[in-house]
């Protein structure tokens, strides 16, 4: 009989919550259906609200070696290339919020988390096991899993659903079907040596255009550039990480700034993701099961906070269910408190991300008004605008 909490999902959120619980002296079992643990996607941005949690877990040095700390974010008009605004990152972000703003390959971050989990005696990884049912059990809950050796039932005092957008655990708590939001993301990485000289350097760049935007930043210690082009689309595609036709994107970007066009033309392979999220769920927990990350509150990428919110969830949930080292406190009121603490913030981030999507893709003349407003905001205005987001701490 398993007396450990069970985390369903071995991605960034699942491994972070497992590590957070283990650091507080609690054994954890992670159930992951994949047999090869690689994290899909390209880059991820870890703003101070997320990086401080990873540092608190003792992972700062390991992540920092693989990440890049951009000096600033610059915003440009996609057509003319004109700079509209700039927000200092780097030292300014550390001084303001006490933690770095990192950009890193998702696979690099996942490797750090996985290495830490494998070296932690309190964590058991059950790879190649798929959770097929969650129900009540003698310890409070039970998870039925299948694998090469057939089906087994794991009894547990707590099930944590960290299984992403298409969560199986969510079906037992608050069934909901993710909604396509009218965007397709084109994602790629390429060697920094293939990037136009004008677009190299330790900074992130955001390009705003009609029904489209592009963001890019260095990753892998500065050896590669992560590029994401998000295009408005009335139709979705089937599945994630499908190859995209480079010629199609080149046609879409033919009227953009010459440096950005050169960058798009330099990418040999793109992978496509349709973008989804969910309206607020009526609940994130039921009985002894609870949702975190994209399973509870998927976020569009226009605020770069999907992974950060999952990391935040992990820190708060671990504090609540293990109030004292080695002592579990799993009750319906504990999980309700977790929801009370997290729901308003998650909803605000979701709404701000949707709003940014509309702002980024404005057409003329609204785009002109947006550009003027960005210029007037200035660097200090940009920093202050996101204090509520980046200044979060897990207390």
One DSSP character per residue, 307-319 reads HHHHHHHHHHHHH
Q: Does residue 332 lie within any of the structural domains?
A: yes
Write the pLDDT tens digit of every residue in 172-185. 999 999 999 999 99
Q: Does residue 205 lie within any of the structural domains?
A: no
How many structural domains does the chain have?
1
Instruction: Give the mean model confidence (pLDDT) for residues 336-346.
Output: 96
Q: For the chain, what percent of residues have pLDDT higher than 90?
A: 90
Tokens of 90: 């780097």
Q: Does residue 328 lie within any of the structural domains?
A: yes
Q: Does residue 362 lie within any of the structural domains?
A: yes
Q: Please, which pLDDT band fits residue 202 given cuts at 50, 70 and 90?
A: very high
CATH of the domain at 88: 3.50.50.60
Beta-sheet strand order (sheet of 159-161): 123-127, 28-32, 6-8, 159-161, 289-291, 285-286
Q: Does residue 77 lie within any of the structural domains?
A: yes
Beta-sheet strand order (sheet of 270-277): 83-88, 72-77, 203-209, 212-219, 224-232, 179-191, 270-277, 242-244
pLDDT score at 78: 96
Q: Does residue 263 lie within any of the structural domains?
A: no
pLDDT score at 1: 42
Tokens of 306: 């999907």
pLDDT of 227 > 50? The answer is yes
Q: Please, which pLDDT band fits residue 2 given cuts at 50, 70 and 90?
A: low
Q: Please, which pLDDT band fits residue 123 given cuts at 50, 70 and 90?
A: very high
Spatial contact of 222 and 195, defined as CB atoms under 8 Å apart: no
Write the pLDDT tens digit of every residue in 67-107. 999 999 999 999 999 999 999 999 999 999 999 999 999 99
Q: Does residue 244 lie within any of the structural domains?
A: no
Chain mean pLDDT for the chain: 94
Provide the residue range defining the domain that includes 43: 6-178+278-390
């Amino acid at each position: 009989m398993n007396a450990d909490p069970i985390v369903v999902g071995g991605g960034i959120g699942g491994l972070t919550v497992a590590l957070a619980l283990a650091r507080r002296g609690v054994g954890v079992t992670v159930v992951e259906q994949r047999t090869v643990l690689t994290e899909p996607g390209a880059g991820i941005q870890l703003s101070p609200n997320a990086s401080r949690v990873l540092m608190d877990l003792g992972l700062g040095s390991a992540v920092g070696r693989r990440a890049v700390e951009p000096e600033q974010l610059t915003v440009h008009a996609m057509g003319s290339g004109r700079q509209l605004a700039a927000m200092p990152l780097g030292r300014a972000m550390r001084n303001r919020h006490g933690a770095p703003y990192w950009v890193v390959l998702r696979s690099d971050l996942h490797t750090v988390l996985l290495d830490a989990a494998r070296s932690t005696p309190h964590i058991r990884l059950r790879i190649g096991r798929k959770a097929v049912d969650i129900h009540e059990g003698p310890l409070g809950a039970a998870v039925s899993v299948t694998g090469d050796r057939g089906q087994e039932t794991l009894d547990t005092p707590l099930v944590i659903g960290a299984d992403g957008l298409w969560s199986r655990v969510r079906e037992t708590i608050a069934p909901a079907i993710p909604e396509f939001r009218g965007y397709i993301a084109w994602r790629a990485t390429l060697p920094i040596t293939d990037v136009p000289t004008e677009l190299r350097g330790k900074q992130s760049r955001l390009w705003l255009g009609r029904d489209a935007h592009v963001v890019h930043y260095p990753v892998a210690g500065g050896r590669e550039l992560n590029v994401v082009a998000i295009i408005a689309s009335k139709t979705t595609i089937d599945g994630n990480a499908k190859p995209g036709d480079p010629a199609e994107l080149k046609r879409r970007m033919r009227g953009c700034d010459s440096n950005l066009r050169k960058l798009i033309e330099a990418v040999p392979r793109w992978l496509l993701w349709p973008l989804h999220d969910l309206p607020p769920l009526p609940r994130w927990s039921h009985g002894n099961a609870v949702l975190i990350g994209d399973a509870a509150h998927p976020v569009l990428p226009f605020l770069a906070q999907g992974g950060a919110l999952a990391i935040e969830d992990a820190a708060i949930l671990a504090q609540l269910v293990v109030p004292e080292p080695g002592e579990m406190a799993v009750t319906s009121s504990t999980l309700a408190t977790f929801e009370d603490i997290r729901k308003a913030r998650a909803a605000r981030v979701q709404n701000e991300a949707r709003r940014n999507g509309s702002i980024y893709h404005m057409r003329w003349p609204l785009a002109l008004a947006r550009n003027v407003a960005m210029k007037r905001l200035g660097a200090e205005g940009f920093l202050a605008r996101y204090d509520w987001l980046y200044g979060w701490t897990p207390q």
